[in-house]
Amino acid sequence: MPGRILVAIGAPNGDIRQLNHHCEAATGLALAECRGQPVWQRLAAPEHAETMREGFLRAAAGEDVPDQHGSWQARDGKRFAVHWGYSGLRDADGQTQGVVVTGADMRVADRMQAELSEALDRHQAILDTAVDGILTIDGAGRVQSFNRAAERIFGYRAVEVLGRNVSMLMPQPYRAEHDGYLHNYLTTRRKKIIGLGREVEGLRKDGTVFPLDLSVGEVVVSGQRVFTGIIRDITDRKQIEQEARRRQDELAHMARVHSMGDLAAGLAHEINQPLTAILGFSGACSRMIDAGTADMALLRDSMQQIARQGERAAEVIRRLRKYVEKGEIEQQPSDLGASVHEVLELLQHELKVNSVRVLTKVPDALPQLLLDRVQIEQVLVNLVRNAVQAMVEARVSAPELQIEGAVSDAPVGVSVTVRDNGPGFGGNPPDQLFAPFFTTKKDGLGQGLSICRRIVEAHGGRIWAERNQPGGAAFSLWLPLPPPGGAGVHEIRGAA
Question: Is the distance from CB of 235 to CB of 145 less than 8 angstroms?
Answer: no
Cβ 147 to ligand ADP shortest distance, Å: 49
Site string for ligand ADP, 98-127 (x = CB under 6 A): ------------------------------
Indicate the residue among 19 and 347 with the shorter CB distance to ligand ADP: 347
Indicate the residue among 77 and 261 with the shorter CB distance to ligand ADP: 261
- Answer for which of 473, 477, 479, 495 binds ligand ADP (CB under 6 A) is 473
Indicate the residue among 39 and 343 with the shorter CB distance to ligand ADP: 343
Closest residue to ligand ADP in the complex (CB): 448
Question: Is the distance from CB of 346 to CB of 387 less than 8 angstroms?
Answer: no
Does 471 participate in binding ligand ADP (rule CB under 6 A)? no
Site string for ligand ADP, 22-61 (x = CB under 6 A): ----------------------------------------
* CA angle (472 as vertex; 468, 478 as ends), nearest 5: 50
Give residue 214's identity as a one-letter amino acid code: L
- Work out the number of other CB atoms within 10 angstroms of the CB of residue 141: 18
Indicate the residue among 44 and 379 with the shorter CB distance to ligand ADP: 379
Bridge partner list, 105? 82
Q: How far is CA 46 from CA 51, 52, 105, 331, in A?
A: 10, 10, 18, 88
Cβ 394 to ligand ADP shortest distance, Å: 9
Q: How far is CA 130 from CA 119, 149, 159, 435, in A?
A: 16, 7, 19, 38
Task: Provide φ and ψ at 462, rounded to 5°.
Answer: -135, 150
Does 386 participate in binding ligand ADP (rule CB under 6 A)? yes
Question: Is the distance from CB of 381 to CB of 259 less than 8 angstroms?
Answer: yes
Taking each helix axis as running N to C, give the angle between helix 235-290 and helix 373-393, from 0 to 180 degrees, rounded to the nearest 10. Answer: 70
H-helix or E-strand spanning residue 97: strand 96-105
For 335-345, give one letter per residue: b (16+ CB within 10 A) or e: bbbebbebbbe
Half-sphere exposure of 420 (CA within 13 A, CB side): 25
Cβ 270 to ligand ADP shortest distance, Å: 23
Bridge partner list, 416? 405, 477
Indicate the residue among 173 and 444 with the shorter CB distance to ligand ADP: 444
Indicate the residue among 52 and 433 with the shorter CB distance to ligand ADP: 433
Site string for ligand ADP, 122-151 (x = CB under 6 A): ------------------------------
Does 230 participate in binding ligand ADP (rule CB under 6 A)? no
> Which letter does DSSP use for residue 11 in this model?
-
- Answer for which of 143, 203, 285, 390 binds ligand ADP (CB under 6 A) is 390
Indicate the residue among 3 and 471 with the shorter CB distance to ligand ADP: 471
Site string for ligand ADP, 175-214 (x = CB under 6 A): ----------------------------------------
Long-range (24+ apart) CB contacts under 8 A made by 111-117 are 111/1, 112/1, 112/3, 115/1
Cβ 388 to ligand ADP shortest distance, Å: 8
Cβ 219 to ligand ADP shortest distance, Å: 51
* CA angle (454 as vertex; 453, 460 as ends), nearest 5: 90
Q: How many residues bind ligand ADP (CB under 6 A)?
A: 21
Residues within window 393-452 making contact with ligand ADP, judged by CB under 6 A: 420, 422, 424-425, 433, 438-441, 444-450
Residue numbers at the binding site for ligand ADP (CB under 6 A): 382, 386-387, 390, 420, 422, 424-425, 433, 438-441, 444-450, 473
